[in-house]
């Protein structure tokens, strides 16, 4: 299986996150990408390629143009306005009640950022662009006939919706790749999101559509981030009704519970008849993850990979979360080799 990886990802090194009013080191750090890269290299999984070039139009197929412009130019505007930190929000456009982007950068930050875990630093835009292009490159590898490919993206993307970033992420790499597949006229997409957190961004982007089935296993949103979506009764709307499926799971979930929901999601994906499967691969379900509360073990990732392989679909893996720095690499490689060996 080929991996697509941009070593530039390290230019996005958030100075901090603000959690419950406390300024702390950001759990989403460059060592995550470096460690997964090293583990993939050492595993001999397959070639590691740099992203190809794509265009902004591939990104704005999913994301709002004003939002993308904010991601591109926001850091410079923030500095020009005299702010000393990286770009953070301190006001929020709750439930998108207002559709007029503010003119000043401190207003825009709140308009386009949904929480205080996410920030824009000097190198962020370049990293986001390369990360999205990595997903698009890996998609082309799968569309070109490979059974699977791995987009080693950083930062994660599944909390990014059409016009807002959040949860450490700003561009929805999985959604951008899925949309490109649809735009090529290649058929229908299923997204299986196994990150610990609900992918509210991906759900949002496709909520009214029937050309993409979104299935997500995640922590109960009543108890953990992103808090305001991920419930089982969110099933899609309009033409999209029935094409969104959430599996909120209790704190402490281990393989015995997890595998039941995974098998159910696999049944739905199978019944949908997708032409490609995009896996939002987060390994923050790991028992020692510092920000999460599931209990999966390293060998369970091989089981997840094998269950995914049973679907027999061309499969694009896109990196999402995972914050146990010392085990993120082995856990990701287990999932990918578990898929390959099955």
Residues contributing to the site for Zn ion (CB under 5 A)? 195-197, 282, 284, 321
- Cβ 308 to Zn ion shortest distance, Å: 18
What are the residues whose beta carbons fall under 8 Å from the beta carbon of 227, sequence distance 6 or more? Answer: 221
Q: Which of 63, 159, 198, 218 is catalytic?
A: 159
What are the residues whose beta carbons fall under 8 Å from the beta carbon of 310, sequence distance 6 or more? Answer: 266, 342
Tokens of 66: 């004003």
Residue 57 CB neighbour total at 10 angstroms = 9
Is 159 known to be catalytic? Answer: yes
Q: Looking at beta carbons only, is 158 or 334 nearer to ligand OKP? A: 158
Q: Looking at beta carbons only, is 292 or 315 nearer to ligand OKP? A: 292
- Beta pairing partners, 248: 218
269 φ/ψ angles, rounded to the nearest 5 degrees:
-65, -40
Q: Is 321 in the site for ligand OKP (CB under 6 A)?
A: yes
Q: Looking at beta carbons only, is 234 or 284 nearer to Zn ion? A: 284
Q: Which of 86, 129, 140, 195 binds ligand OKP (CB under 6 A)?
A: 195
d(CA 237, CA 173): 23
- Cβ 37 to ligand OKP shortest distance, Å: 18
Q: Looking at beta carbons only, is 17 or 204 nearer to ligand OKP? A: 17
Q: Is 243 in the site for ligand OKP (CB under 6 A)?
A: no
**3-class state of residue 195 by DSSP:** coil
Cα distances (angstroms) measured from residue 315 to each of 67, 149, 238: 29, 7, 28
The string over 123-133, giving b where at least 16 C-beta atoms fall within 10 Å of a residue's C-beta and e elsewhere, is ebbebbbbbbb
Residue nearest to Zn ion (CB): 321
Q: Which does 201 bind (CB under 5 to 8 A by kind): Zn ion, ligand OKP, none?
A: none
**3-class state of residue 318 by DSSP:** strand
Site for ligand OKP in 116-175 (CB under 6 A): 117, 156, 158-159, 167-168
d(CA 150, CA 217): 20
- Cβ 19 to ligand OKP shortest distance, Å: 4
Catalytic residues: 159
Q: Which residues bind ligand OKP (CB under 6 A)?
A: 17, 19, 27, 117, 156, 158-159, 167-168, 195, 197, 225, 282, 284, 291, 320-321
């Amino acid at each position: 299986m080929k991996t697509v990886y941009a070593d530039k990802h390290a230019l996005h090194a958030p100075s901090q996150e603000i959690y419950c009013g406390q300024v702390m080191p950001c759990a989403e750090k460059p060592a995550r990408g470096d460690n997964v890269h090293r583990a993939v290299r050492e595993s001999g999984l397959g070639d590691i390629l740099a992203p190809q070039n794509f265009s902004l139009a591939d990104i704005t197929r999913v994301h709002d143009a004003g939002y993308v412009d904010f991601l591109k130019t926001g850091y410079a505007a923030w500095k020009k306005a005299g702010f000393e930190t990286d770009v953070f929000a301190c006001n929020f456009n709750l439930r998108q009640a207002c559709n007029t982007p503010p003119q000043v950068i401190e207003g825009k930050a709140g308009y386009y950022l949904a929480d205080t875990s996410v920030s824009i630093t000097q190198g962020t835009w370049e990293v986001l662009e390369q990360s999205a292009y990595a997903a698009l490159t890996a998609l082309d590898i799968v569309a070109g006939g490979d059974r699977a490919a791995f987009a080693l993206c950083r930062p994660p993307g599944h909390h990014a919706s059409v016009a807002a970033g959040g949860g450490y992420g700003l561009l929805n790499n999985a959604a951008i790749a899925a949309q490109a597949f649809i735009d090529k006229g290649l058929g229908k997409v299923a997204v299986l999101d196994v990150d610990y957190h609900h992918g509210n961004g991906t759900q949002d982007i496709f909520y009214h559509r029937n050309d993409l089935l979104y299935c997500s296993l995640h922590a109960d949103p009543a108890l953990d981030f992103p808090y305001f979506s991920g419930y089982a009764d969110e099933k899609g709307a309009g033409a999209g009704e029935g094409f969104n499926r959430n599996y909120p799971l209790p704190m402490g979930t281990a393989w015995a519970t997890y595998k039941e929901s995974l098998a159910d999601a696999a049944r739905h994906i199978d019944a949908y008849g997708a032409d490609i499967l995009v896996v939002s691969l987060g390994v923050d379900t790991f028992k020692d993850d510092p920000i999460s509360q599931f209990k999966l073990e390293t060998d369970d990732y091989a089981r997840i990979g094998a269950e995914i392989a049973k679907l027999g679909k061309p499969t694009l893996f896109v990196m999402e979360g995972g914050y146990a720095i010392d085990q993120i690499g082995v856990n990701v490689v287990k999932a990918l080799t578990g898929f390959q060996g099955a």
